[in-house]
Amino acid sequence: MPPKKKEAKAAANADPNAPDPELLEWRNKTLELQLRERTEDIALMRESKLALEKEAHDLTHAYHQNRGATMAMTSEMTGQFEGMQIQLVDKIALLQRTVGDLKEELVEAETRHVDTERSKDAKIAEKDAEVEALKARMEDMALEFSGMLNGTLQKMRERVELSTSNTFDADAGARMQRKFNNGS
């Protein structure tokens, strides 16, 4: 079909610098395709953005919940720690008082022990002195008794001799008297 007159007139009236309509149509289609692709990309990015915002919100919410739980747990543990610390300080103070009391008792016991040792040593020394005195007295008594026995034995010998001898000696009585006086 031959070109229509209107088209021919339009072509005749057309500006020589004007771009080719076919080229413009292709350009328009290309731009529409790019627009569609970018619109799809924007839609995907919006979905991705919404998903990321939701995830960020969920993470923020979880963070605040965990932080609250952690703070509560930390607070509770701090309270327990402080309570235990107070108990231990009290127990340390009690044990220090007990140690002090036991040290005082030990000093007193050592003092009593030293006093007892001194008293014992004094009594032992006293008894030793008493034993020595009694030994000396016994020795004196033994010597005295020995002397008495010897004297008695001597007297008995002399009497036995006198009684067994048949002869009478007039000087025998004077000898005896001298022996008694001399103590032999």
pLDDT in tens, 88-129: 999 999 999 999 999 999 999 999 999 999 999 999 999 999
Task: Using pLDDT thresholds of 50, 70 and 90, give the confidence band for residue 4.
Answer: low
C-alpha to C-alpha distance for 135 and 9, rounded to whole angstroms? 174
CB 167 within 8 A of CB 149: no
C-alpha to C-alpha distance for 93 and 80, rounded to whole angstroms? 20
What the block records as the tokens of 94 is 């009690």
Task: Using pLDDT thresholds of 50, 70 and 90, give the confidence band for residue 18.
Answer: confident
Compute the average pLDDT of residues 48-65.
Answer: 92
Say whether pLDDT at 3 is over 60: no
The contacts of residue 151 (CB under 8 Å, 6+ apart) are 183
Helices 172-182, 21-164: crossing angle, 10 deg rounding: 160
Task: Using pLDDT thresholds of 50, 70 and 90, give the confidence band for residue 86.
Answer: very high
Which pLDDT does position 11 carry in this prediction?
54
CB 174 within 8 A of CB 149: no
Q: What is the value of pTM for the model shown?
A: 0.39
Which pLDDT does position 172 carry in this prediction?
60
Task: Using pLDDT thresholds of 50, 70 and 90, give the confidence band for residue 83.
Answer: very high
Which pLDDT does position 13 carry in this prediction?
59
What the block records as the tokens of 17 is 């610098």
C-alpha to C-alpha distance for 26 and 7, rounded to whole angstroms? 20
CB 184 within 8 A of CB 154: yes
Compute the average pLDDT of residues 132-151.
Answer: 92
The amino acid that residue 152 corresponds to is T
Residues in the chain: 184
Compute the average pLDDT of residues 9-26.
Answer: 72
Which pLDDT does position 112 carry in this prediction?
95
